[in-house]
Structure 1
Amino acid sequence: MSYKAIIHVGNNWYSFGTSNGQDVQGASSTKLQGEWERFDGPILAIDEAEWVGKQATYGIWAPDVYQRGSDKKFIMYFSAFDKEKKDHRCIGAAISDDIKGVYHPESDFVQCNRTASGAIDPSWFKDDNGKQYVVYKTEIPQNWLEIREVNNSGPKEGVEWAGNAQKLLQMGSQGFDDGGNMEAPYIFKRGDTYFLTYSTHVTMNESYDVQYATAKSVTGPYTRVKKPLLETTNDFGCKLIGPGGASFQQDSGDQKSTKMILHGLTEAMDINKRVVYTATVQVDGDRLSVGSD
């Protein structure tokens, strides 16, 4: 279990994440560092998605949520097993009037990357010019982080592709050793710099981390930063093991910081029993650092 998405609406923080493969899980809190209350389900009406195949479960994975401007409805991006290539995942979108759901999938919105091994880990980004994008990971053997524009207005805002996919970063690029994995991309902007964050190495052990790259355009080129933003450490008053899957507050009005939510392992190293962390990330030009709170 893990939380990924982070969104601030009204006086509350909301987060959504992977659960049992049959639905997502969600929670809310009045304070990012406060007590979180989980939602009652169902949250995502996955059986309405015509492209989704059901194996042991639907394989729902890594949701992200935002509130669109056209009608204030909420859009959830998610990945689930593909009906056509049953062991691969595709990315879809669903709409809800209420942030807590139920989210109803749009069956004509799908990104499968069937020439590779599927696509997962979608997250949303809105640029200063109003254009909106979904950034995601294509699976091994290609293992690219890609971005694709979506419609930014009207009834199809967020649930209609507006352009072709563009490649951002590939695993092992720019001389980095990524331990055979690059995933969980997320984009936010501060000042004139776009920050593309992602995780590398092995999800279920202490090698997992949060890294980032920077660019002056949302589509790149992105330059990878050598020092990870977060890795296994005891520096924050706790034993942080295998941090990853980070999401960030998109627009805080503060160009010098952003809020972050992420998951980490316990000493049991059980990927199904991960814990959630929140933090403040300081922004200094094109460099990020994690604060002590």
Structure 2
Amino acid sequence: MRSQRSFRVTAYLSVLVVLVVSAVAGQSAAQASEREPRPVYAAPTGEAADPGVVRDGRDYYAFMTGGLARVATASSPRGPWRPMPDALSRWGEWASGKGAVWAPDAVRTSAGWVLYYAAQAKGFAGQRCIGTAVADRPAGPYEPAATPLVCPILNGEDPAADRPDQTSGVIDPSPFQDEDGTRYLLYKTQKTPGTIRMFPLSSDGLHGRGELSHELVRHSDSIENPVLVKRDGYYFLFAAANWYDQCRYSTVWRRSADLWSFADKDEHVLLDQAGTGLCGPGGADVVTGGGGPDRIFLHGWVCSADNQPCEFTGVVTDPNKRRVVYAAVLSWGTDGITPQVPAFLPPA
């Protein structure tokens, strides 16, 4: 017959095994949960879309579609992100004042902080142009220029004269500075076919430098939200393919040794619904340098109060749909020149 002590030892070991198994299972569940992309920022009201993200010291600023350019800030890509007042102090005189700012982005130059934004232009049938604004601080407030920078009308410095549809406007401005300090602005022409163009800028980023823009890529469906990154002698053009209101909206990339030659380069998918489980992972921006790891920020559609991705294959028709921001690791493969996203960052 077992002694009472042996019984107690056996019972103790049984409980210990249960606790260990439970802990391991809980840890596995937590790890699995962290592998599932979760938004790092969801706007308190409305949505958070087309993040243009900059880093100033340890602080991050995300400029987003909506109002007079929505802004949120955080000390880490994971957040917590804090919404701030809209970036623009007012509309530029060239803008109609209707609708909202689309896909703003900012950069620091000799002029201070320069904000690029797309807004409906006066006398342009609802089509948009791209303007500039300047501030002393990254979050603003930004004072807009009286005339547009890129606009087919209203004396825009770059009229994008040879765009496929001569009635289309321009959106999605994205600044780029090459290793020699030369500045450029990438943007998209509206309507179909979609194109990505690039405009050489002055050293302060506020004007052109006497050259017109040139087309980089054309897409029979839609291509937008361009971002250019230089690495190891190559230029990487990231963009969003397909239509923004569909779950098949995705982030793609092309690589070229020539700054102006992307049309004949292979297009690769970086992020799509099949690979991430997200609905429409696009509108991305990349933050590199500063001594830290590279990060990519993007938006996706969610259709529930707890921010679950919408479950559609095409157009998202759920009336509760809204866009939220995700952050992820951007790595470059074993060859150092193949963009990859090995993990999404969990929210703080």
Matching residue within 94, 116, 121 for 1:51: 94
Moved more, 283-292 or 264-273: 264-273
CA RMSD in angstroms comes to 2.0
Matching residue within 201, 205, 208 for 2:246: 205
Whether the 8 Å contact between 1:145 and 1:169 is mirrored in structure 2 is: yes
Partner of 1:176: none
- Aligned pairs for 1:70-89 within 5 A: 70-71=110-111, 73-89=112-128
Q: Is 2:317 the partner of 1:266? A: no
- What displacement does 1:54 show? 2.8
- What displacement does 1:258 show? 2.3
Q: Is 2:83 the partner of 1:38? A: yes
In 2: Cα distance, 1:42 partner to 1:5 partner: 14
Q: Is 2:291 the partner of 1:291? A: no
Percent identity, aligned pairs only?
A: 26
In 1: Cα distance, 2:167 partner to 2:215 partner: 14
Q: Is 2:318 the partner of 1:279? A: no
In 2: Cα distance, 1:50 partner to 1:87 partner: 16
In 2: Cα distance, 1:24 partner to 1:105 partner: 12
Whether the 8 Å contact between 2:52 and 2:63 is mirrored in structure 1 is: yes
Matching residue within 41, 49, 71 for 1:26: 71
Matching residue within 159, 173, 190 for 1:122: 173
- What displacement does 1:272 show? 6.1
When residues 110 and 279 of structure 1 are mapped into structure 2, their CA distance, relative to the original with a 3 A threshold, is same
Partner of 2:289: 251
1:27-85: per-residue Cα shift (whole Å, max 9, x none)? 1111111210111x2420233x1211133x3x3110001111x25x1111000001021
List, as ranges, runs of 4+ consecutive aligned residues in structure 1 with deviation greater than 4 Å.
Answer: none
When residues 38 and 259 of structure 1 are mapped into structure 2, their CA distance, relative to the original with a 3 A threshold, is same
What is the TM-score normalised by the length of structure 1? 0.85
- What displacement does 1:181 show? 1.1
Whether the 8 Å contact between 2:298 and 2:325 is mirrored in structure 1 is: yes
When residues 11 and 190 of structure 1 are mapped into structure 2, their CA distance, relative to the original with a 3 A threshold, is same
In 2: Cα distance, 1:227 partner to 1:215 partner: 13
What secondary structure is seen at the aligned counterpart in 2 of 1:233?
Answer: helix
Whether the 8 Å contact between 1:213 and 1:223 is mirrored in structure 2 is: no
Partner of 1:149: 200
Partner of 1:177: none
Q: Which runs of 5+ in 2 are unaligned?
A: 1-46, 154-165, 304-309, 311-315
Whether the 8 Å contact between 1:3 and 1:15 is mirrored in structure 2 is: no
Whether the 8 Å contact between 2:187 and 2:225 is mirrored in structure 1 is: yes
In 2: Cα distance, 1:134 partner to 1:233 partner: 31
- What displacement does 1:263 show? 0.1
In 2: Cα distance, 1:104 partner to 1:272 partner: 33
Query: Which structure has the highest strand share of the two?
Result: 1
- What displacement does 1:283 show? 1.2
Matching residue within 166, 171, 174 for 2:214: 166
- What displacement does 1:208 show? 0.5
Larger RCO, structure (CA 8 Å, separation 6 or more): 2
What secondary structure is seen at the aligned counterpart in 2 of 1:290?
Answer: coil
Partner of 1:94: 133
Letter aligned with residue 242 of structure 1: G
What is the TM-score normalised by the length of structure 2? 0.72
Partner of 2:108: 67
Matching residue within 250, 268, 291 for 1:227: 268
What secondary structure is seen at the aligned counterpart in 1 of 2:146?
Answer: strand
1:216-258: per-residue Cα shift (whole Å, max 9, x none)? 12222454444300000365xxx3111000000143457xx62
When residues 101 and 226 of structure 1 are mapped into structure 2, their CA distance, relative to the original with a 3 A threshold, is closer
